[in-house]
């Protein structure tokens, strides 16, 4: 009869790292306190740090991994010296690139807890994660002004994947309308599938490739003159002329440059008339619903078949957190179901594993839940309204400036403008502005002209920061 092995015998060649991990567990208090100190210094220092880091030469990506570990306290010291000083202050108020939300204290706490509790948020088996995600999705629909119970969905890694799910579910539904099953038999069974889009985001173009539809395989709809908004007459003409049996329209609620909103009511009417699936990319625009001066821009969103949005943009939860909503959750589940005997459960609740690309999933509902409980609807409304006011304020300053020119009236939270001289002069000017480290803007091309894009999506932006932004631009003009 064999006798049970004691710990030392069971792992006679256990690597040192195993012992370090147990040592670390014993000094978890110090480790968490040290982590907390570093995080606090970074978060509180983000107002005064250089907004971006432009020289990472001190960090050697080819350095070999240590054979022997040093323990977490020592590794934290190394991270403090070698990595933290080389990060962007993208959580801070003057990072105006892309559409970058910061992290609110509640969302930060939620994200820390997410790592600590390390749930695999696949479904209802043995943990409340699925019920929390269900509640958060319902609260998100409420924030967006969508009718209760009409939409269901899933949290994703970001709007890019949400757009992907829109394509996948829409294509499946289109197939079902004409009696073919793309999920079972492949995209080849749907030969005449036509997608119509006026201003698809770059991520949607990527998704067209990933789904095998093809980057160029969509019908470009005209935009209203001087905007990124779908020209309804052109969409109608193109839908009417199409011989495709399966159709999808991709609309925008807040384009990334001009923050234009499509006329979703008119587009929903056309989709109903021509039997097309309506997907709306509302990555950040969905939360315009919180601003009573702009909520009307989302009229018709409730008629979308699927909607993309993001938590890591305007809701200021940390990366990654995307949102996908649909009125046809069973169609999505058909396309994304993962079947294996070991994945089956009798537990009651949503199987999020069957609603997206990932099988194993981070418990990304928790940071959202914490932020929603901590700040409520009022808190998010405050961020959205303030950021819209800030974009309008910068636009007004540009308009009254004798050396700057506004490229488009901001409808939401993005101001686009340009300086004097040629595109090359302005490229150099943007480089000078960003080199100050006081703010960060990304380049854009709008109306054929090079410009600067200032996107306000951070809860920390205040009047004092606006003064720094304006003063800095003036100082390098």
Ligand X SMILES: Cc1ncc(COP(=O)(O)O)c(C=O)c1O
- Output the smallest distance, CB 310 to ligand X, in A: 5
Q: Does 259 bind ligand X (CB under 6 A)?
A: no
> Please, which residues have CB within 8 angstroms of residue 140's CB and are 6 or more apart in sequence?
153, 309, 323, 325, 368
DSSP 245-294: SEEEEEEEBS-TTT--B--HHHHHHHHHHHTEEEEEE-TTGGGGGGSTTT
Could you say whether residue 159 binds ligand X (CB under 6 A)? yes
Q: How far is the CB of 124 from ligand X (least distance, A)?
A: 27
- Stretch binding ligand X (CB under 6 A), from 68-76, 107-115, 277-285, 456-464: 277-285
Cβ pair 280, 308 in contact under 8 A: yes
Token duo for residue 444: 């854009």
Cα distance between residue 275 and residue 269, in whole Å: 10
Closer residue to ligand X (CB): 201 or 361 = 201
The region of 30-38, 278-286, 422-430, 444-452 touching ligand X under the rule CB under 6 A is 278-286
Give min distance, CB of 161 to ligand X, in A: 7
Q: How far is the CB of 67 from ligand X (least distance, A)?
A: 37
Nearest Cα to 331, choosing from 277, 282, 281, 280? 277
CA dihedral 50→56→59→60, nearest 10 degrees, is 170
What's the length of the chain?
477
- Check residue 35 and report its DSSP letter: H
Q: Taking the complex as a whole, how short is the minimal distance between the CB of residue 282 and ligand X, in angstroms?
A: 8
Binding mask 99-128 for ligand X (x = CB under 6 A): x-----------------------------
Contact pattern for ligand X over residues 72 through 101, marking x by CB under 6 A? --------------------------xx--
Q: How far is the CB of 261 from ligand X (least distance, A)?
A: 11
Q: Residue holding tokens 């209203």?
A: 224
* Helix, strand, coil percent values for the chain (each to nearest 5): 45, 15, 40
Residues 349-368 that bind ligand X (CB under 6 A): none
> Residue 363: CB partners within 8 Å, gap ≥ 6?
114, 117, 118, 119, 121, 129, 132
Tokens matching residue 51: 């907004």
**Closer residue to ligand X in complex, CB, 286/406:** 286
Nearer to ligand X, 284 or 450 (CB): 284
Give Cα 196 distance to the centre of its chain: 23
Q: Is the dihedral of CA 433, 435, 438, 443 positive or negative?
A: positive
- Which of these ranges, 156-164, 174-182, 270-278, 297-305, lies near ligand X under the rule CB under 6 A? 156-164
Q: Does 446 bind ligand X (CB under 6 A)?
A: no
3-state secondary structure 377-445: HHHHHHHHHHHHHHHHHHHHHHHCCCCCEEEECCCCCEEEEECCCCHHHHHHHHHHHHHCCCCECEEEE
Rounded Cα distance between 89 and 440, Å, is 10
CA distance 393 to 410: 10
Binding-site member from 104, 114, 122, 160 for ligand X (CB under 6 A): 160
Q: Residue 159 Cβ, how far from ligand X at the closest point, in Å?
A: 3
Among 93, 102, 110, 158, binds ligand X (CB under 6 A): 158
Q: Are 111 and 317 a contacting pair, CB within 8 Å? A: yes
Between residues 205 and 468, which has the closer beta carbon with respect to ligand X?
205
Beta strand pairing status for 246-252 and 193-197?
A: parallel
The least distance separating ligand X from the CB of residue 200, rounded to whole angstroms, comes to 9
Among 203, 326, 390, 413, binds ligand X (CB under 6 A): 203
User: Shortest approach of ligand X to residue 251 CB, angstroms?
Assistant: 11
What is the C-alpha to C-alpha distance for residues 114 and 143, in angstroms, rounded to an integer?
Answer: 23
Quick note: the x/- pattern for ligand X over 310-339, rule CB under 6 A, is: x-----------x-----------------
Q: Which positions from 372 through 431 interact with ligand X, judged by CB under 6 A?
A: none
Stretch that binds ligand X, among 44-52, 142-150, 260-268, 281-289 (CB under 6 A): 281-289
**256 scored as a contact of ligand X (CB under 6 A):** yes
Nearer CB in complex with ligand X: 203/434: 203
Residue of 46, 95, 146, 201 interacting with ligand X (CB under 6 A):
201
Q: Which stretch binds ligand X (CB under 6 A): 23-31, 155-163, 215-223, 388-396?
A: 155-163
How many residues touch ligand X under the rule CB under 6 A: the total is 13
Residues in contact with ligand X by the rule CB under 6 A: 98-99, 158-160, 201, 203, 256, 281, 283-284, 310, 322
């Amino acid at each position: 009869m064999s006798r049970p092995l004691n710990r030392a015998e069971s792992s006679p060649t256990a690597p040192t790292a195993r012992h370090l991990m147990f040592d670390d567990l014993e000094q978890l208090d110090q480790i968490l306190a040290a982590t907390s100190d570093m995080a606090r210094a970074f978060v509180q220092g983000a107002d005064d740090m250089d907004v971006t880091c432009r020289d990472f030469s001190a960090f050697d990506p080819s350095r070999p991994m240590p054979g022997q570990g040093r323990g977490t306290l020592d590794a934290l010291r190394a991270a403090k010296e070698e990595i933290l000083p080389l990060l962007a202050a993208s959580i801070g108020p003057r990072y105006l690139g892309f559409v970058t939300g910061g992290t609110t204290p509640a969302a930060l706490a939620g994200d820390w807890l997410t790592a600590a509790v390390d749930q695999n948020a696949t479904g209802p088996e043995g943990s409340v994660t699925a019920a929390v995600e269900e509640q958060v999705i319902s609260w998100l629909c409420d924030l967006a002004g969508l009718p209760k119970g009409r939409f269901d969905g899933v949290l994703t890694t970001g709007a890019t994947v949400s757009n992907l799910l829109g394509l996948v579910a829409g294509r499946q539904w289109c197939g079902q309308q004409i009696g073919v099953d793309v999920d079972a038999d492949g995209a080849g069974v749907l030969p005449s599938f036509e997608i119509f889009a006026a201003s698809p985001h770059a991520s949607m173009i990527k998704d067209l490739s990933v789904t095998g539809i093809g980057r160029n395989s969509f019908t470009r709809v005209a935009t209203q003159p001087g905007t990124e908004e779908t020209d309804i007459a052109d969409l109608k003409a193109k839908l009417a002329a199409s011989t495709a049996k399966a159709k999808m329209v991709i609309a925008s609620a807040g384009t990334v440059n001009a923050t234009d909103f499509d006329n979703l009511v008119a587009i929903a009417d056309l989709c109903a008339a021509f039997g097309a699936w309506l997907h709306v990319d509302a990555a950040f625009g969905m939360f315009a619903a919180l601003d009573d001066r702009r909520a009307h821009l989302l009229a018709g969103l409730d008629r979308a078949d699927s909607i993309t949005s993001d938590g890591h943009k305007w809701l200021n939860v940390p990366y990654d957190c995307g949102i996908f909503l649909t009125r046809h959750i069973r169609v999505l589940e058909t396309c994304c179901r993962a079947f294996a005997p070991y994945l089956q459960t009798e537990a009651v609740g949503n199987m999020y594993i069957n609603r997206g690309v990932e099988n194993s999933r981070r418990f990304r509902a928790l940071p959202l839940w914490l932020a929603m409980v901590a700040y409520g609807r009022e808190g998010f409304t405050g961020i959205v309204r303030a950021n819209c006011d800030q974009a309008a304020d910068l636009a007004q300053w540009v308009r009254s400036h004798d050396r700057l020119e506004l490229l488009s009236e901001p409808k939401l939270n993005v101001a686009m403008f340009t300086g004097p001289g040629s595109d090359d002069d302005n490229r150099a000017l943007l480089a000078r502005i960003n080199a100050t480290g006081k703010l960060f803007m990304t380049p854009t091309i709008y109306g054929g002209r090079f410009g600067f894009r200032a996107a306000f999506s951070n809860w920390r932006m205040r009047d004092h920061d606006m003064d720094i932004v304006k003063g800095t631009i003036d100082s390098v003009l």
